Every structure is written in C-alpha cells, then in structure tokens.
Amino acid sequence: MARDDDFSHLSEEQFRVTRRCGTEPAFSHPYYTLKDAGTYHCVACGAPLFSSAAKYDSGTGWPSFFQPVSDQALKAVRDTSHGMIRTEVRCAACDSHLGHVFPDGPPPTGSRYCINGLALDFRPQEEKS
C-alpha cells in the first residue's frame, strides 16, 4: 500500500476521499454531469480507470460507470462500515479509495460503479485529424 505522504499533490478534499475513504456530497462534483468523450484516471496516481463510453446517469449524484477500462484497473474490498455490507472499489495501482460497486447497473454488466468525482482526473479524448 502506498504511503500517505506520496500524495502531496492532492487537495485536502481529494486526500480525504482517496486516502481516508471519504465521500463527497451527492450532486456536488462537475464530473457527475460531464458528457465529454475521454478517460477518467485515478487522481492520486494517474492510472486509467473508466472510459466515458461506460459512463451513464444513475441518478445517484455521483459519476457512475457500468465497467472499468480493464479487469486489472480496480480491486474490490468488502466494506462493512456505516452498518452496511458493500463492495468498495480501489485503484489497483495505488490503493486509493474510489467509491463502491453495486449489482443494479445497466446491461451489459449489470454493475453500477458509483465513484467519487474527487477521486478522478478526466482527460479528454484527443481529436483525430
């Protein structure tokens, strides 16, 4: 697991979410409504996590995706905090907390990756000439 002092480039809120398993308020991050083409990367280490092609509006208030960019991008961890049993998702490269995955998403996967916008860095798709 990466040490917390390896993430000095993060804002206080990004650090709280990614390194302390925090959650941003619903509907508070601009990525929730962003519809641009591109890739969402881990804000802590830059690893690619989700394609905009897998993003959809779940109505939950957080950016939601039905699949990661690859099977190796994320790791799942059992989360029993707050009196619930959930599946937390973390960046496989740096172990940053991203959010949770739920089994109520759209086809083709049926998964809803509910991700904190503060944990993401969106990089627009480069235009082809």
- Higher-pLDDT residue of 84 and 28 is 28
Kindly list the domain boundaries of the chain, sorted by start residue. 4-124
Please state the length of the chain: 129
Token readout for 80 is 């029993």
Rounded-to-integer distance, Cα 129 and Cα 127, Å: 6
Q: Where in the sequence numbering do the catalytic residues fall?
A: 114
Per the CB < 8 A criterion, the answer to whether 18 and 10 are in contact is: yes
Task: For the chain, give the mean pLDDT.
Answer: 93
Binned at pLDDT 50, 70 and 90, residue 1 comes out as: very low
**Helix and strand element counts for the chain (H, E):** 1, 9
Domain 4-124 CATH superfamily: Peptide methionine sulfoxide reductase. (2.170.150.20)
Give residue 82's pLDDT. Answer: 84
Per the CB < 8 A criterion, the answer to whether 74 and 89 are in contact is: yes
